Amino acid sequence: MEKILDVQQLTVSFDTYAGEVQAVRGVSFHLNKGETLAIVGESGSGKSVTIQSVMGLLPTPPARLKQGKILFKGVDIAQYSEKQMEKLRGKEISMIFQDPMTSLNPTMKIGRQIMEGIQKHEKLSSKEARARAIEMLSMVGIPNPESNMERYPHQFSGGMRQRVMIAIALACNSQVLLADEPTTALDVTMQAQILQLMNELKQTLGTAIVLITHDMGVVAHMADRIAVMYGGCIVESGTAEEIFYDPKHPYTWGLLQSMPSLTGKSSKRLSVIPGSPPDMLMPPKGCAFAARCGYCMHICQEEAPPSFNIVDQHQAACWLLDPSAPKVERPHLQH
Ligand code: SF4
Ligand code: MG
């Protein structure tokens, strides 16, 4: 598998009046060509800050990229100037957000917006750009693309706007699509349609996707590999199969327990992990999950757990995996 993106030891802080918020603390992950990596975790775990760093969209200041490499095709783009990033964004790496209205221009027709995106990166005549825009709109399932080119963003439904955003994101054949909660604002039916569209585009265009979500149900439908984030760190990562069928970290257990059964037939009540995420102004010196973990041991409060290798491609940072730790039984997880 060829790595297209390789993030190493990414560390990002925000300077605030109250002090330094340590949003991302030594995060490493990679994305292979043509696969979907889901980064999952509660809000405030550092997921969005992580992919905003990759996209070069962090507001600096107050954000500071303190450490780390972001290798895109082997080149460290963390060192890129804003000018260099502008050439990359929308051309090689694209991003879609939860609310397309924040990135669409409400005063400009949809067609013009897609054409501008294309012409920013490629020397095409208006006629050629128009043809490409129409092709993209039909590829993402917008009916009557020629007449819809002439409409404004507010004339589309939320789901259709998200399709338009995807058309813009992929119009220049980006090889990486970063998607931050792309379906959270949509109803269940729309959500399923957009996820299916993303899967289809991954198949036909070979786009590699980093999908950020807090929803394990979405992860189950999309991910080849999964990275679980908590308190600014990746606490477990592995193939979707490993994470769903042999999860090792108590936080991952909690996430899976809070997921409705994949068959949707379960009547069991969802368990929600009690407690709240750590204060990133003063992250705990030991395991960030200690205050909420039902398995917490003395060492957990003293020392941050290292990352243990379970099998190739499956790691988890939890003291329970230390050979000298007591054996515990994982809670029952339904699938
Ligand atoms: Fe729980 Fe300790 Fe593992 Fe942290 S290291 S998740 S506190 S058992
Ligand atoms: Mg977020």
Q: Look at the alpha carbons of 63, 64, 67, 71 in this order and tell me if their dihedral is positive or negative.
A: positive
**How many CA atoms, within 13 angstroms, populate the side-chain half-sphere of residue 151?**
17
Proximal ligand: closest to the CA of 307: 1
3-state secondary structure 93-119: EEEECCCHHHCCCCCCCHHHHHHHHHH
Pocket probe mutation, ligand 1, options 234, 255, 295, 301, max atoms within 8 Å of Cβ? 295
Contact (CB, 8 A) for 47 and 226: no
Question: What is the pLDDT, as a whole number, of residue 243?
Answer: 96
Residue nearest atom 3 in ligand 1 by C-alpha distance: 318
Which residue from 235, 249, 255, 319 has its CB within 8 A of the most atoms of ligand 1, so it is best to mutate? Answer: 319
CATH code, domain with 74: 3.40.50.300
Task: Supply the pLDDT for residue 263.
Answer: 52
Alpha carbon of 17 to ligand 1 centroid (Å): 31
Q: Which of 236, 273, 296 to mutate to test the pocket of ligand 1 (most atoms within 8 A of CB)?
A: 296
Selection from 330, 305, 308, 298 nearest residue 319 by Cα = 305
Task: Check if 273 has its Cβ closer than 6 Å to any atom of ligand 1.
Answer: no
Say whether the ipTM exceeds 0.85.
yes
**57 CA distance to ligand 2 centroid (A)?**
13
CA 228 to ligand 1 center in whole angstroms: 14
Calpha distance 302→219 (Å, rounded): 33
Closest atom of ligand 1 to 250 CA is 6
Could you give the angle at which helices 126-139 and 158-170 cross, rounded to 10 degrees? 130
Q: Is 98 inside a domain boundary?
A: no
Bridge partner residues of 153 (DSSP): none
pLDDT at res. 261: 60
Ligand showing the shortest atom-to-Cα distance for residue 278: 1
- In this structure, is residue 231 part of a structural domain? yes
pLDDT value for 237: 98
Give the residue whose CA is nearest to atom 5 of ligand 1. 318
Domain assignment of residue 121, yes or no: no
**Residue 301 in domain:** yes
Task: State which residues have CB under 5 angstroms from ligand 2, the bound ion.
Answer: 48
Residue 291 C-alpha from the chain's centroid: 26
pLDDT of residue 249: 97
Q: Identify the nearest ligand to the CA of 184 by its number.
A: 2
**Do residues 14 and 63 touch, judged by C-beta distance below 8 A?**
yes
| Domain assignment present for 310 | yes
264 CA distance to ligand 2 middle (Å):
26
Closest CA to 24 of 49, 59, 43, 61: 49
Helices (H), ranges, the chain: 47-55, 82-88, 110-121, 126-139, 145-148, 158-170, 188-205, 216-222, 240-245, 250-257, 298-302
pTM: 0.94
SS3 of 4, please?
A: strand
Residue 33 lies in a domain: yes
- Asked if residue 228 has its Cβ within 6 Å of ligand 1, the reply is no
For the chain, the domain total comes to 1
Classify residue 278: in a domain, yes or no: yes
222 Cβ below 6 A of ligand 1: no
Q: Considering the domain boundaries, does residue 138 fall inside one? A: no
What separation in Å is there between the alpha carbon of 63 and the centre of ligand 1?
29
Domain that holds residue 267: 3-92+174-321
Written as tens digits, the pLDDT of the chain (335 aa) is: 899 999 999 999 999 999 999 999 999 999 999 999 999 998 889 999 999 999 999 988 999 999 999 999 999 999 999 999 999 999 999 999 888 777 899 999 999 999 999 999 999 999 999 999 999 999 999 999 999 999 999 999 999 999 999 999 999 989 999 999 999 888 888 889 999 999 999 999 999 999 999 999 899 999 999 999 999 999 999 999 999 999 999 999 999 988 766 555 544 556 678 888 999 999 999 999 999 999 999 999 999 999 999 998 899 999 999 999 999 988 888 66
